[in-house]
Structure 1
Amino acid sequence: MIIYGSTISPFVRKCVAFAREKNVEIEVRAAGMGRGGPDFEEASPFRKMPALRDPGADGGRDFTISDSTAIVHYIDAKHPEPNLIPLEPIARARTIWYEEFGDTIVMAAGGKLFFNRFVGPKVLKGGFDAGIADAAERDELPPILAYLESVIPNSGYLVEDRFTLADLAVAAPLANASWVGAAIDGTLYPRTASYVEAILARPSLADLVERDRAIVRGMMEA
């Protein structure tokens, strides 16, 4: 399978790590921000990353799809073990909720931070507003962290006391926020800080996080 995008994006990182947890071989091809070419545009008509191509999967033709949720659910259906999206109804509903929480609520705050402190000034060289990032860190991030502090179980996993898509979707965007000055305060949110650190240290994520953090910090300091 081919995933188009950059793992600096939490959505791309989620897909790549999900595939790794499933022991599915993935090739990541750079795309987005003006890159990717016709193959990427075929897989993602609106040029949003991530996108996926599964060669020959559709009756001998390539199967393509975009959006991280569609991609992880496709991978899960095709490779059901190890199970990362629970089948038990309540656990499944909670997992879907946490993925949506990560993709929308966490990303709404984290995206403002990451765009206005890194993507705008360092990648696009313009079109950013530092005040938006400051407001997101001050007003939007604390309720998110307080919520997580109240719901993370003693097991350190959000659903069924084991690693699931829920953990991956929640932790991935919080990594990006920490790279641009919004690290989780362990004195205020000790459970959340320990939880995110442990999830990001998993073998499916650790090398991606370390590499992308170094890239971001290098560009921030340049």
Structure 2
Amino acid sequence: MSSRKSVPERPSAGRADLEEAILRAAEAEFAEKGFEGATTAAIAARAGLPKANLHYYVATKEALYRRVVEGVLAAWLDAARGFDAAPTAVEALTRYIEGKMDLARDRPLGSRIFAREVMSGAPVIRDFLDTTLSAWVRERGAIVEGWVADGQLRPLDPKVLFYMIWAATQHYADFAHQITALNGGVPLDDAGFAAAKRQVVATLLGGVLAPRPDDMAAIPA
């Protein structure tokens, strides 16, 4: 009997494509069943691969779960690039809120996985919360404090601001079924989502910006 590891049965597909298919299948399975309920067999089936081939790319279910969560966090943190590039608080926060809203619509499953994990005490990703996310909050919190000191924002706790942004934007992923139900049983169309995004930006910024006419005029109507 050969001792060689299983290799992918679809050699025409690149490794990156196969790994992406596995990650998308895992995201769907973990969002639906959680870490405990998901199985690598079910994930492999969703990806159209034999289970042995999935394990050729990812050794364990926990390793796959962590990769999925890392991808979610990477996308969320990437949405905050405006903090480093935008010249004003209103520009930076507008870009960030809009980016988080777009992610809630484009990748809702990742948000649901993260919410389920945190509500269960973050047993698998606690180290991410204690390191990567905590560092991000400290660094961006210092920027927010600079905006307060500069008179761009009202006095506030940066963490509370982040909590409000996360709650408002991720609602559109985590509670999408509720939004659909309250929208007459149909999901928000592009125009409806764009209007919601404008209102979320305007409402959040209207509550935290210092009353400077130039900044208030920059809030999307």
* Fold agreement, TM-score > 0.5: no
More strand by share: 1
More helix by share: 2
